[in-house]
């Protein structure tokens, strides 16, 4: 903890330990690097300074605020949890572990982290950094993801907690837990840990026996699957066709260009058929505008972006004909025509935003 006092990064949620700020920071930092989170955190708290503000937020505006952080379920869980806090706790963040654990998007680690850091209560925390620090500290040879290892690490984490009074933050559980996380982030790295800088090197079994490269044990890597999807870009009268993705699908609540993949659209013909069913009119896909490669959870995605045209034989019919066909279509729920400027205020995925950027430079002739 002395090391932490001298080496801790100056992070905005450490300047103010309110439960709300700690909660938002913990959710944002899940599977996301701190450097990426920093500007988002500041903008988020400026837009939603209280839990009540967050609970009352417009979902589309909230998703736009979150855009680029990924794992959008986190934002929806924050929103739902804020509404639950307003409804059941008068807008005050709960102080009971069970009540915190009952909030959407919060598990054992996050509940303990919030109460430990904001209230200096003696709750253990175990996440990526502390899991690695504690595994090396006690010389744990079994991979930390194994059930027996998890039980041992939670036990060790709890045993190490100082039992200090709530007003002694720097020497209490809040200080220890943050110090352990910071040690993992800055010193006890996955590869080439800086053992010569570590304040607990003399107590660390991995260091004593030269096992830093073997501990923590090998963790099974995610087996990524390749998946190709097709996005269709209809452009008529300076507007493009987009849809708000429904609940239960990836990026739910976000605005996106019509896209599909296997088994619905394994090829261009399949994509044309799917679009025809959605729009009630024949569709033709034109030239490929761009190929975008990205990763989503366990998938390595390839997105083929194609210009698209409404009606058979309309590819070369001109803008007036396309406008006539477009005006005759009864769009499904959630679908709309929007200008590129209007899309700037709508929440979109990173790939959707890339398509918008592409269209700003595209020649109108690509769309007939």
Q: Which residues are catalytic?
A: 26
Q: Are 260 and 268 in contact (CB under 8 A)?
A: no
Q: Are 170 and 14 in contact (CB under 8 A)?
A: no
Token representation of residue 56: 């009352």
Contacts of residue 225, Cβ cutoff 8 Å, sequence gap at least 6: 298, 299, 300
Can you name the residues that pair with 240 across neighbouring β-strands? 235, 338
Radius of gyration of the chain (CA): 25
Q: Which ranges in the chain belong to alpha helices (H)?
A: 2-7, 12-15, 19-28, 34-47, 51-55, 59-66, 73-89, 97-101, 108-119, 128-138, 147-160, 173-186, 205-208, 268-279, 319-327, 340-343, 350-361
Element (H, E) at 302: strand 299-310
Q: How many Cα atoms occupy the beta-carbon half-sphere of 195 within 13 Å?
A: 18
Question: Tokens 């430990």, residue?
Answer: 116
CA-CA distance, 67 to 60, in Å (whole number)? 10
Contacts of residue 301, Cβ cutoff 8 Å, sequence gap at least 6: 227, 228, 229, 293, 294, 295
Contacts of residue 131, Cβ cutoff 8 Å, sequence gap at least 6: 144, 153, 184, 216
Q: Are 109 and 179 in contact (CB under 8 A)?
A: no
Question: Tokens 């083929």, residue?
Answer: 304
Q: How many Cα atoms occupy the beta-carbon half-sphere of 10 within 13 Å?
A: 0
- Whole-angstrom CA distances from 286 to 6, 256, 278, 315 are 60, 19, 18, 7
């Amino acid at each position: 903890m002395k090391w932490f006092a001298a080496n801790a990064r100056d992070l905005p949620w450490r300047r103010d330990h309110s439960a709300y700020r700690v909660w938002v920071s913990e959710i944002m930092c899940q599977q996301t690097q701190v450097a990426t989170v920093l500007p988002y955190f500041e903008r988020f708290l400026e837009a939603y300074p209280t839990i009540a503000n967050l609970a009352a937020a417009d979902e589309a505006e909230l998703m736009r605020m979150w855009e680029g952080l990924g794992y959008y379920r986190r934002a929806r869980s924050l929103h739902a949890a804020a509404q639950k806090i307003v409804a059941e706790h008068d807008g005050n963040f709960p102080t009971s572990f069970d009540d915190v654990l009952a909030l959407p998007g919060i598990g054992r680690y996050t509940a303990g982290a919030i109460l430990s850091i904001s209230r200096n209560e003696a709750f253990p925390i175990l996440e990526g950094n502390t899991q690695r620090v504690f595994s090396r500290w006690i010389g744990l040879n079994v991979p930390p993801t194994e059930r027996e290892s998890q039980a041992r690490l939670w036990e060790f984490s709890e045993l190490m907690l100082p039992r200090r009074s709530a007003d002694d933050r720097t020497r209490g559980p809040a200080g220890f837990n943050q110090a352990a996380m910071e040690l993992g982030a800055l010193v006890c790295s996955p590869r080439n840990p800086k053992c010569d800088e570590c304040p607990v090197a003399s107590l660390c079994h991995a260091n004593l026996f030269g096992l830093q490269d073997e501990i923590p044990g090998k963790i099974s890597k995610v087996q990524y699957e390749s998946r190709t999807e097709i996005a269709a870009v209809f452009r008529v009268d300076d507007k493009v066709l987009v849809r708000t993705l429904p609940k239960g699908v990836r990026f739910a609540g976000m605005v996106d260009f019509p896209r599909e993949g296997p088994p619905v659209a394994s090829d261009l013909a399949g994509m044309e058929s799917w679009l025809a069913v959605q729009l009630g009119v024949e569709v033709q896909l034109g030239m490929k505008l761009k190929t975008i490669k990205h990763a989503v959870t366990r998938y390595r995605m390839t997105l083929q972006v194609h210009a698209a045209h409404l009606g058979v034989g309309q590819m070369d019919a001109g803008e007036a004909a396309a406008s006539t066909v477009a005006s005759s279509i009864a769009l499904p729920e959630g679908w709309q025509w929007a200008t590129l400027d209007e899309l700037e205020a709508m929440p979109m995925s990173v790939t959707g935003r890339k398509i918008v950027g592409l269209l700003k430079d595209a020649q109108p002739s690509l769309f007939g």
